[in-house]
Amino acid sequence: MASFDPYLAEIVRKSDEDRYLSVLYAPEAKRQALLSLFAFDAEIARVRDLVSEPMPGEIRLQWWRDILSASEPGGGHPIAAALLETIANHRLPRQTFLDYLEARTFDLYDDPMPSRTDLEGYCGETVSAVFQLAALVLDSDAAADVAGLSGHAGCVAGIIRLLRLMPLHRKRGQCYVPSEVLAASGLDREAYLGGEPPDAMALALGAMKSLASEHLRAFLTGAPSLPASLRPAFLPLATAAARLDRIDPSASWHSPAPEVSALRRHWILFRRARSGW
């Protein structure tokens, strides 16, 4: 039986329970590799939470670049060691991880997201990349045909996460809403961070929710063709529609959207794991 690192499992479970559950639906021999990918993503996603200024965050990201580029054992870091083993065993493209780290640099600063294209690119090089890497771990031959679906999946999951974290991001001065969306809603960065006027904030959040819905429809159009071997990689997206339903444009910009119940999430994941989309 393949080993299953409880340390990685706990990191993934605490950061995203749907991802953790999706791993349990994967073949046993693939679970450790998937956990290493998801734990890496969780570790990098929290860098901004751990630093008060950009420079320490830049240093953390550079450490990961050095580890990935040098192919070292991981410097005693359990997530790095597990990730390097996964990269070697499954011949994953290192450049994808380096591009991921480069995109995550945006998180360290308070610059506004320039455009919708930039937002989709950010999601593509971070969240979409993880979907595609998970697909490569599960079935490298079949994964070549689902890059487009990974792109849409990443935009859905990425935007939903940004919407759910919007109150936190606004509090610390971050703006992931594209400048063009702000302008169309009658806002600029300062007004957005100040939450005034409320009607304009609701318009901006509604536009972001619509963008996520657009990518979700595109994903669902192609999802029925997903081979069963790749299904676990995309299971975290099974609850996307339910999460979007709970995002209220008039309120979710200042108060986190309510969570989907654990019972419902378990049922949705079980149904998708068994029969697909």
pLDDT digits (tens, 9 = 90+) for 108-151: 999 989 999 999 999 999 999 999 999 999 999 999 999 999 99
Domain shared by 255 and 143, yes or no? yes
Residues, the chain: 277
Give the pLDDT score at 70.
80
Domain shared by 97 and 117, yes or no? no
| Of the residues 78, 108, 138, the one at which a domain ends | 108
C-alpha torsion sign, points 26, 216, 265, 158? positive
Domain shared by 128 and 104, yes or no? no
Domain shared by 54 and 163, yes or no? no
C-alpha torsion sign, points 261, 257, 20, 123? positive
In a domain, 194, yes or no: yes
Give 73-84 pLDDT, tens digit per residue.
656 799 999 999
What is the spatial distance between Cα 277 and Cα 271, in angstroms, rounded to a whole number? Answer: 9
Structural contact between residues 80 and 67, judged by C-beta atoms closer than 8 angstroms: yes
Domain shared by 115 and 203, yes or no? yes
What is the spatial distance between Cα 83 and Cα 75, in angstroms, rounded to a whole number? Answer: 12
Domain shared by 91 and 133, yes or no? no
In a domain, 44, yes or no: yes
Give the pLDDT score at 196.
93
Domain shared by 150 and 250, yes or no? yes
C-alpha torsion sign, points 258, 212, 41, 238? positive
How far is Cα of residue 237 from the mean position of the Cα atoms in its chain? 10
For the domain that residue 215 is a member of, what is the CATH number? 1.10.600.10
Domain shared by 146 and 225, yes or no? yes
Q: How many CB atoms lie within 10 A of CB 214?
A: 14
Domain shared by 152 and 253, yes or no? yes
| Of the residues 70, 93, 108, the one at which a domain ends | 108
Domain shared by 77 and 143, yes or no? no
Give the pLDDT score at 73.
64
Task: State residue 146 phi and psi, 5-degree precision.
Answer: -120, 20
| Of the residues 108, 130, 146, the one at which a domain ends | 108
What is the spatial distance between Cα 259 and Cα 141, in angstroms, rounded to a whole number? Answer: 36
Query: Which position has the token pair 């990098």?
Result: 44
Q: Domain range spanning residue 81?
A: 1-108
Assigned token pair, 231? 């299904």
In a domain, 167, yes or no: yes
In a domain, 92, yes or no: yes
Assigned token pair, 89? 């065993």
The number of folded domains in the chain is 2
Assigned token pair, 81? 């060691």
Give the pLDDT score at 72.
61
What is the spatial distance between Cα 258 and Cα 255, in angstroms, rounded to a whole number? Answer: 9
Distances (CA, A) of 172 to 27, 111, 251: 41, 12, 18
Give the pLDDT score at 71.
59
Give the pLDDT score at 52.
86
Helices of type H across the chain? 6-15, 17-24, 28-45, 47-50, 54-70, 78-90, 94-104, 116-123, 129-138, 140-143, 147-164, 166-171, 179-184, 189-194, 198-222, 231-234, 240-245, 262-275
Ramachandran assignment for 19, one of left (phi > 0), alpha (psi -120 to 50 degrees), beta (any other): alpha
Is residue 51 exposed (0-12), middle (13-18) or buried (19+ Cβ within 10 Å)?
A: middle
In a domain, 277, yes or no: no
Domain shared by 136 and 99, yes or no? no
Closest C-alpha among 21, 13, 14 to residue 265: 21
In a domain, 32, yes or no: yes
Give 12-31 pLDDT, tens digit per residue.
999 999 999 999 999 999 99
What is the spatial distance between Cα 102 and Cα 212, in angstroms, rounded to a whole number? Answer: 23
Domain shared by 147 and 222, yes or no? yes
In a domain, 155, yes or no: yes
Mean pLDDT (the chain) is: 95
Closest C-alpha among 158, 160, 163 to residue 175: 163
Query: Binning pLDDT at 50, 70 and 90, where does residue 220 land?
Result: very high
In a domain, 201, yes or no: yes
